[in-house]
Structure 1
């Protein structure tokens, strides 16, 4: 990620004390590569899947309620790095699918955390392009974050991921 940022020559300062740390999104990363250029590597799609909450199960077992938000904290860390890595691009092809009792409409605190992570843009909406720019590098970077109580089906996630990847591919090709 740091090498990707360095290659843009936009940013000069880097704390290299944690250079060995990695981000491994749950759903993986899809890259666009060129056969004749080993250095050409563009992100088409980054995906995360987060299950958040066990308080529904704990209640059935007669246990006390736990704090909410651990998966969201990990998502926030990854998202910060991903946004930094893609700061120079006009797209941020990232999507997260989350499910669990902490995303029930009655659990506003977790949804509020997600809203802040998404720079106060809407949840459950696809965003690919950066928004509301007023200079070459001053964009907001809303991302696609889909959260609900019920588990996501593969075909539902696939359609959203396909739209993001295809749009990203068109961005780089045209």
Structure 2
């Protein structure tokens, strides 16, 4: 582990991921059968395990995932049920700081996960990512 005065000592301000979940809307138009749902979400869960382990020593988890696709339609309960990877915290809300703990190392680490059917626009994602990065920077400075 590097010392804080080491010029190569670095902190993470933001980790992002964008995932498209579902192609059954396109498959239906092509006359094809439905396929299984939830593969992108399952990979997200695996990625989060590593991210949370990497940031275990910090009191922040500056991660955000933007997901879109037909599998996030309000009538698609199967994919939404797989989203317990956020420790049962609300979706479509920004979380940066670990919360609900009672010691220095016993915290939940909710992350920011924004999901909807429509594709995300760059300016929408930018605003959320900027908020997370700026909050993370303030955490490390102050």
Q: Per the shorter chain, which TM-score range?
A: over 0.9
CA displacement at 1:39 relative to structure 2: 3.2
Q: Which runs of no fewer than 5 residues in structure 1 stay unpaired?
A: 1-6, 9-33
Alignment TM-score, normalising by the size of structure 2: 0.95
Query: 1:52: which partner in 2?
Result: 21
Query: What number of residue pairs does the alignment pair up?
Result: 141
Query: 2:106: which partner in 1?
Result: 138
Q: Return the alpha-carbon distance in structure 2 between the equivalents of residues 142 and 169 of structure 1.
A: 18
Q: Residues 90-131 of structure 1, C-alpha deviation per residue, up to 9 Å, x if partnerless?
A: 0000000000000101111111211x1000000000000001
Q: Which runs of no fewer than 5 residues in structure 2 stay unpaired?
A: none
- Runs of 4+ with >6 A deviation: none
Q: Residues 138-158 of structure 1, C-alpha deviation per residue, up to 9 Å, x if partnerless?
A: 000000000000000000000
Is structure 2 residue 30 aligned with structure 1 residue 61?
yes
What root-mean-square deviation, in Å, do the aligned CA atoms of Structure 1 and Structure 2 show?
1.4
Q: How does 1:110-149 map to 2 (within 5 A)?
A: 110-114=79-83, 116-149=84-117
CA displacement at 1:37 relative to structure 2: 2.9
